[in-house]
Structure 1
Amino acid sequence: MKEGRTDLIKVKGFVYDSKNNLQMRGLIVLLLSKAAGPSHASSDLLPQDMVSGIYPSQRNLAEITELIHTAFLVHRGIVNLKEWTVSDGPLKDMQFGNKMAVLSGDFLLANACTGLAQLDNTKVVELISSAIGDVVQGLYYENHNNNEENSLTNGIDVAAWEEQAFLSHGALLAKSCQAAMELAKHDKESQRLAYKYGKHLSLGHKLNSDLQPFVKSNMAEPTSFCLSAAPVVFHRQIIGTERWLQLLQQAKTQRNQLDYSKLLAAVKSEKGVSSAVDLCCYHGNKALEAIQAFPSSEARSALENIASAITKI
């Protein structure tokens, strides 16, 4: 029992601290595999093949999921050298760093694809391959929206934000959860519920992360946040494009830079933050609803606690 509580404390850290969430996806896949238990649909999979209630193929899938996620994190470390100035440091060092980020990320992806092929399951290969494509598409949208010119003028609405957030932050986990059920030969309904849990948990976690500067900002420290963060998207949709452009103009300093503390105060003055909190709670509750369809167990309780943790803003 103490062991289970220790795991939950670690889990909470993965969910709350955006700097330490690298292992969250693999952990979710393992916990979900254990919560679903052994399959009765195939004689090829025997309960005695399981270790701590998880099939070896599901453990391999958890490692593959982490590899893919880490590969894309490394790729995200690539710096746009067009914006580089002499005061930022030697350009050659950054060019070398970019090359290393590309090569390292590609190496991790290649290893993940090799492991994926060794699972010897066509549907799982198809699921995870499509998830890789989703992440690539999501990152393209993310980079486009985070471009200063686009983020200032061409704002997306909440529906588009959710779609893009799912591609870049949710597809990999959702499809990995579904793939874990497929590896254990669980039925379509179990696969659907696993996918639903992964999807809503990821979106809730992204909303929780986006909300942090708006709910825990220390005014003594410099304030900074992404202009495509969920509370900003909600705020922009509530006040309209014309007022948003006026607000941006008012928030500009003499050096033509944005004063983020003014923007933060403006976003907090309307219902953008509360709307994002409501959406976060919605996704957390949807994840809870999905996981509660699985048999009661310590693993299920851990997954319930993770879903509950993301709604605590």
Structure 2
Amino acid sequence: MAFADHCWRGLVYDSRNNLQMRGLVVLLISKAAGPSNGAELSFQHDMVSGIYSSQRSLAEITELIHTAFLVHRGIVNIGELKSCDGLLKDMQFGNKIAVLSGDFLLANACTSLAQLQNTKVVELISSAIGDLVQGIYYDNSNLSEENCLTHDIGISTWKEQIFLSHSALLAKSCQAAMELAKHDAEIQDMAFQYGKNMSMSHKLHSDLQPFIKGKSSDSVAFSLNSAPVVLHQEFLGREAWIKQIREAQSKENLMDFTKLQEAIKAGKGVTSAIDLCHYHGNRALEALECFPPSEARSALENMVYAVTRFS
């Protein structure tokens, strides 16, 4: 069991690499749901290993969109560069490549999306792209607080923004997979809820890594807008939180993340983030109860277990 848990943990989360599991989730939830009762017999002939070809295409589209936005996020702000960062021309060239590569992937995704010939699916995935754009806008526009280090937001706002930037694509792709198999609105909603809550748990698990037991010796820079920090600020109060940040800064404005990490771990933010991770994990598992028991459903459950265990 421990080995199996380790394997699922490695599939869903790896601190060194970006693991693209969104397409896999779409395939697994498609297989778990199977064909709908109202599907025509001729339509079911298009199914291979319990998954329709249109659902396989959707899984590829989901990965393409996710990768395109990752590439776009690699664009460097030239205005913030210093002479020691390297040649400006190299950075400008890299930015052009990032823009063109991301646009190419996104264009291919949109072309494949149109070929599915399903208006509702096109609408769902298009809205997910819009959510991603809005989420990235929030990430980039809210950095005017206190030396551009931390947002003045509560956990409810954090969840809204994380849904846009991390959860919407997977949630709506899972829903779209059910639409392609002609499942009813209830099954579509359960698939949406699984994708949403699974990705929220995944993000919370990622945010918690610098703060969980056994990681204290691996003190590294962490986002001051991550879930444990936002919850810590909410409990502590904005003024006291800014005071802690200033106390952890040197005269050269360099951040002592070890000192700040210990202050956050001493508060309630970390345990509250773990509780929130478990909450979303349980919601994801509840959503799977509408699907019949199967290996695909077990795999989806194991993914949730992998991102809600911290020992």
Question: Which residue in 2 is equivalent to 1:3?
Answer: none
1:148-159 alignment, distance < 5 Å: 149=146, 151-152=148-149, 154-159=151-156
For 1:201, give the aligned amino acid: M
Answer yes or no: is the 8 Å Cα contact 1:22–1:70 preserved in 2: no
| Residues matched between the structures, number | 309
**Amino acid corresponding to residue 207 of structure 2 in structure 1:** D
Please provide the CA RMSD for this pair. 2.0
Counterpart of 1:249 in structure 2 is 246
Cα deviation for residue 50 of structure 1 reads 0.8
Aligned to 1:136: 133
- The equivalences for 1:22-101 within 5 A come to 22-43=19-40, 46-101=43-98
Kindly provide the amino acid, as one letter, of the partner of residue 68 in structure 1.
I
2:121 matches 1:124? yes
* Matched-pair identity in %: 64
Between 80-89 and 116-125, report the one with greater CA deviation. Answer: 80-89
Give the whole-Å Cα distance in 2 for the aligned partners of 1:19 and 1:223: 13
- How far residue 44 of structure 1 moved from its aligned partner, in angstroms, is 6.4
Alignment of 1:256-295 (within 5 A): 256-295=253-292
1:181-204 deviations in Å (ceiling 9; x for gaps): 000000101000000000000100
Question: Which residue does 2:224 correspond to in 1?
Answer: 227
Matched residue of 2:282: which SS?
A: helix
What SS class does the counterpart of residue 46 from structure 1 fall into? Answer: helix
Amino acid at match of 2:60: E
Match of 2:45, SS state, is helix
With the length of structure 1 as denominator, give the TM-score of the two structures: 0.93
For 2:12 and 2:143, the matched residues in 1 are separated by 24
User: Which residue in the other structure is 1:195 paired with?
Assistant: 192
Name the amino acid aligned to 1:97.
Answer: G
CA distance in 2, matches of 1:35, 1:20: 28
Is the 1:14–1:20 Cα contact (8 Å) retained in structure 2? no
* Structure 1 residue aligned with 2:211: 214
| Structure 1 pair 126–8 and aligned structure 2 pair: CA distance change class (3 A) | farther
Residue 204 of structure 1 corresponds to: 201
Deviation at 1:40, TM superposition (A): 2.1
Helix, strand or coil: the match of 1:213? Answer: coil
Asked whether the 8 Å contact 2:150–2:225 carries over to 1, the reply is: no
Counterparts in 2 of 1:10 and 1:260: CA distance versus 1, 3 Å: same
5+ long unaligned stretches in structure 2: none
- For structure 1, the 5+ residue unaligned runs are 1-5
Conservation of the 8 A alpha-carbon contact between 1:177 and 1:194:
yes
1:108 and 2:125 correspond: no
Q: Is the 8 A contact 1:22 1:66 kept in 2?
A: no
Structure 2 distance, partners of 1:219, 1:206, is 20
Match of 1:164 among 161, 166, 171: 161
